[in-house]
Amino acid sequence: MADCPALFISAPASGQGKTTITAALARHHRRQGRRVRVFKTGPDFLDPMILERASGAPVLSLDLWMVGESACRDLLAQAAAQADLILIEGVMGLFDGTPSSADLAAAFGVPVVAVISAKAMAQTFGAVAFGLAHYRAGVPVHGVFANRVGTSRHARMLEESLPAGLTWMGSIASTAEIELPDRHLGLLQAMEIADLDRRLDEAADVLAPTPLAALPPVVRFLPSSKLSSKPSSGPSQPAGARPRLLDGAHIAVARDAAFSFIYPANLALLDALGARVSFFSPLADEAMPEHATALYLPGGYPELHAATLARHTRTADSIRAHAAAGKPVIAECGGMLYLLESLTATDGTTTPMLGLLPGHVRMQTRLAALSMQQLDGPLGTLTGHTFHYSHVSTPLTPVLHATRAQSDVAGEAVYRAGPIVATYMHSYWPSNPAFTAALFYGNAF
């Protein structure tokens, strides 16, 4: 077991500034010489990039369904044994989703601070704060923080609106200097924000004088082995050494601004299973690493770089040669789009892709899918999620469909063409290491 100061940063809704505040806190405490570990609630690739830059450490996912309660407990206990502060950024609003941020905070007793955007709001701030604090018993709301405040008088009005029993954690003004830019899937990637470190430092400076910047209460985090009699929800991720199911495997991973939606926990699992992992950049026209036994094409933004990808024949030729040799290719979401015959952008421009999968993709401005999903195969269940703004047309018949966590409606299709396995679903590999190893050996289905 380990004791560590910890804080859960949530909000009444998306767009309140949770990531900005969490990143500012992480940068502030890191500059004080503290070891900060940040976690992100739910399936997210973009916020963790910002939070990793702010904290200086990889940002792992916590989700009672996708990761599993026991695995979340172990990840927190491991972090508490190494860190001086744990920060957890919530997802959407505090009570949104099943399971929600509130469920996660309550499960592990982490005090919650509600970040509320006070722009165009006065005394209603107190009502919103009161509702968050009292909507459900057992959720440890620690205090309230006002974001995007106009003036010092505005801040006093907000503070005075709080009913007795709610702690004022301070406020910061609305300023473009610290706000994080975004696009349709969420925030811009850290690598795309040229002045990100300046923004983080300025945000930390602004936050430093507020009560929120003080160390939060200490929380005791117990590993799942200490609670072995307690039933867990979701998939498990046993602690300790893993069987080296991928000994001898050499996995090539595309990683750059076009292919960046990669869970750090997925890469850590490949390493724990004994695989050698090498990275290459399709945007830099790099060939796949020599002697790779398998290829992973993660999600990302190939649509933003379609013309560049189409010009880069060195990368394309190496991937085609890999597939022609019958070596496994695992492609998720954007990685799958790269393998198709063509990609049509929202402006109607069509660009040829690799042509290793029959079919075409059309980008759209409307959200096409967003849900937690799982794959059920001979080796059990592999959890994950889907989130995309595109539609694929292909003559391929799916080898199976994912199932949704909260619905009987069929989930994403999984396609197989020779050594290629492709789907829109982003998998969380630690939920089933054996299933994951089979994917990279080409015998999962």
Rg (CA), the chain: 22
Q: What is the mean pLDDT of residues 411-415?
A: 97
- Per-residue pLDDT at 38 exceeds 50: yes
Residues 6+ apart with CB under 8 A from 228: none
From CA 430, how far away is CA 445, in angstroms rounded? 18
- In CATH terms, are 2-227 and 250-441 the same topology? yes
Q: What crossing angle do the helices spanning 46-55 and 18-31 adopt, rounded to 10°?
A: 20
Q: List the chain domain ranges.
A: 2-227, 250-441
Superfamily of domain covering 250-441: Class I glutamine amidotransferase (GATase) domain (3.40.50.880)
Indicate the angle between helix axes 18-31 and 196-207, nearest 10 degrees. Answer: 80
How far is it, in rounded angstroms, from Cα 355 to Cα 88?
41
Range 2-227 classified under CATH 3.40.50.300? yes
Q: State percent of the chain over pLDDT 90.
A: 88
Q: What is the dihedral of CA 204, 205, 208, 212, to 10 degrees?
A: -40
Q: For 74-101, how does the pLDDT look when each residue is reduced to its tens digit (9 = 90+)? A: 999 999 999 999 999 999 999 999 999 9
Known catalytic residue at 333? yes
Q: Out of 333, 340, 372, 438, pick the active-site residue.
A: 333
**pLDDT of 208-243, one tens digit each?**
999 999 999 999 999 998 876 544 444 544 445 678
